[in-house]
Homo-oligomer: A and B are copies of this chain.
């Protein structure tokens, strides 16, 4: 049991340390797209467009926060709003061509940074690490 507790403690500590540095790391990697903007824009691309309310629900953010983030992204020309013809309250958000490019570029930089950092890992370890993270985050989703 002590061994198990140790493992949990390390996992807690190391994930916390990572989270603590993530924002600054993102800012250094791609200054043009903050971690928040990156995740919102990536979600829009994944979902092939969605509403501001959906983003708020998915990232546990207040709708006002999302509204401002989207305004900023629109000002930068990274997202565009399309009013839903069936319900004029709703704006369906999509990345613009430019937004998609910037997102791809930031994504490539993130990917490269991770590739470098994991360069000396062997394939089997990488695969298991990826599987563990997936499993961990799936469990987290369920807690709301």
Contact = CB atoms under 8 A, between A and B. Distances in A.
Interface stretch (A79-87, A91-99, A123-131): A123-131
A24 B117 contact: no
Contacts of A117: 136, 139-140, 143
Main secondary structure of the interface of A (DSSP, over half): helix
Contacts of A139: 117-118
Complex copy number for this chain: 2
A3 B22 CA distance: 25
A105 interface: no
Nearest to A46: B13
Report, as a range, how many residues of chain A touch the other chain. 35 or more
A59 B21 contact: yes
B133 A21 contact: no
Interface of A: 3-12, 14-25, 35-36, 38-39, 59-61, 110-111, 114-115, 117-118, 121, 123, 125-130, 132-137, 139-140, 143
7 contacts: A8-B114, A11-B126, A16-B22, A16-B39, A18-B18, A20-B35, A128-B132
